[in-house]
């Protein structure tokens, strides 16, 4: 039996693929899908919103696969990377089965595992918030899934690629790497090709999004790169049409704007460094970041967070209750005036 077949929840093998009307026919006099032949009421319908979209999102699939130089069949596209995380957990996790996740990291992993009645096996990152290979291996023993986040939210650092690949060599299940912020670190840090190129490892999965560097959080578009067999199982567990026509159109248009996005990434990185200097000027420690946010430490985090919001209208995220992050707040890199407003408000609150 193939590795993935053994890892996917057993009943999924018997779940038939749902064949949508639009995967059978997409042209002609379309009287097969109970759509509204008179059109949508909201536009002149260039977007053909009265029709169901291409269920395989072939155009966007080709565009993303081309950019990443991976096989199109190794992509799952859907409604944000949270949807990919959720579907991956649902495809692999039986009630009670362990899933290994790092701590501190992105809260949605634990939340989705719990929603699936899985058992959370948390392991601590090391003192630099990099992967602790021994702890990760131990937590992953017998688990069908381990999820990592690189760059890690909320600390901002990349995990070492060598340690991730070493864990991959020694893992019983699927190793998923959430790369929501990787564009800010640089494409060379992505494992997308290792997960989706020719000769890719079946066990490796990469999850990416257009919500961050690509600026499309409102559109909800994310994707997963994994083995064709895993993507096929996810398609059967998930719903038909996981990505709306509007989101697919926005994603396709954004991918045409690579130079604008690259320029914004450069500006965000410069502002991130300026934010860290500003924090240091206020006598505050912050963590090095490869992402579009900075994790920093204050004496009384929840008080400062609520005062920044209440008195100055500057909203940052309190992360001080996470393990290893006592006193931590996380600030997203804003525009230069927003960052100035944040630093000025923080200066005032620290001296209050």
Contact between 81 and ligand PMP (CB under 6 A)? yes
Confirm if 178 and 130 have CB atoms less than 8 A apart. no
Contact between 80 and ligand PMP (CB under 6 A)? yes
Please identify, among the stretches 55-63, 78-86, 165-173, 225-233, the one whose residues bind ligand PMP according to the rule CB under 6 A.
78-86
Measured from the CB atom, is 320 or 332 closer to ligand PMP? 332
Contact between 271 and ligand PMP (CB under 6 A)? no
How would you write 199-222 as a 3-class SS string? Answer: CCCCCEEEEEECCCCCCCCCCCCE
Contact between 109 and ligand PMP (CB under 6 A)? no
Q: Minimum distance between the CB of residue 32 and ligand PMP, rounded to whole angstroms?
A: 32
Contact between 104 and ligand PMP (CB under 6 A)? no
Name which position in 7, 131, 149, 213 contacts ligand PMP (CB under 6 A): 149
Contact between 106 and ligand PMP (CB under 6 A)? yes
Give the DSSP letter string of 116-150: TT-EEEEEE--TTSS--HHHHHHHHTT-SEEEEES
Nearest by Cα to 119 from 149, 141, 151: 141
Contact between 82 and ligand PMP (CB under 6 A)? yes
d(CA 278, CA 9): 50
CA 12, chain centre distance (Å): 24
Residue 299 three-state SS? coil
Residue 250 three-state SS? helix
Name which position in 159, 180, 304, 325 contacts ligand PMP (CB under 6 A): 180
Please give the residues from 222 up to 261 whose contact with ligand PMP meets the rule CB under 6 A.
222
Q: How far apart are the first and last CA of the chain?
A: 65
- Please identify the residue of the shown chain whose CB is closest to the bound ligand PMP: 80
| Chain contacts with ligand PMP (rule: CB under 6 A) | 80-82, 106, 149, 153, 178, 180, 209, 211, 217, 222
């Amino acid at each position: 039996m193939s590795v993935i077949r053994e890892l996917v929840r057993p009943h999924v093998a018997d779940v038939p693929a749902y064949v949508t009307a639009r995967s059978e026919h997409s042209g002609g006099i379309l009287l097969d899908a109970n759509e509204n032949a008179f059109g949508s009421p909201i536009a002149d319908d260039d977007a053909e919103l009265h029709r169901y979209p291409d269920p395989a999102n072939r155009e966007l699939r080709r565009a993303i696969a081309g950019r990443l130089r991976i096989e199109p069949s190794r992509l799952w596209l859907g409604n944000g990377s949270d949807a990919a995380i959720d579907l991956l957990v649902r495809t692999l996790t039986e009630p009670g089965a362990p899933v290994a996740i790092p701590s501190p990291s992105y809260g949605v992993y634990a939340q989705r595992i719990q929603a699936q009645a899985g058992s959370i096996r948390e392991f601590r990152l090391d003192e630099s918030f990099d992967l602790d290979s021994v702890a990760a291996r131990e937590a992953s023993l017998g688990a069908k899934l381990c999820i990592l986040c690189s760059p890690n939210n909320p600390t901002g650092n990349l995990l070492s690629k060598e340690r991730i690949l070493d864990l991959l060599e020694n893992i019983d299940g699927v190793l998923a790497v959430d790369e929501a912020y990787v564009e800010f670190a640089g494409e060379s840090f992505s494992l997308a090709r290792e997960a989706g190129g020719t000769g890719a490892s079946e066990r490796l999965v990469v999850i990416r999004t257009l919500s961050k560097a690509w600026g499309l959080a409102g559109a909800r578009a994310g994707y997963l790169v994994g083995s064709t067999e895993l993507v096929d199982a996810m398609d059967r567990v998930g719903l038909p049409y996981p990505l709306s026509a509007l989101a697919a159109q926005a994603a396709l248009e954004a991918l045409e704007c690579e130079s604008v996005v690259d320029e914004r990434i450069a500006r965000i990185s410069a502002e991130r460094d300026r934010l860290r200097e500003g924090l240091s000027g206020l006598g505050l420690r912050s963590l090095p970041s490869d992402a579009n946010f900075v994790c920093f430490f204050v004496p009384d985090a929840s008080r400062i967070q609520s005062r920044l919001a209440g008195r100055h209208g500057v909203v940052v995220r309190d992360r001080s209750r996470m393990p290893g992050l006592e006193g931590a707040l996380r600030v997203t890199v804003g525009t230069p005036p927003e960052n100035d407003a944040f630093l000025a408000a923080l200066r005032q609150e620290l001296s209050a």
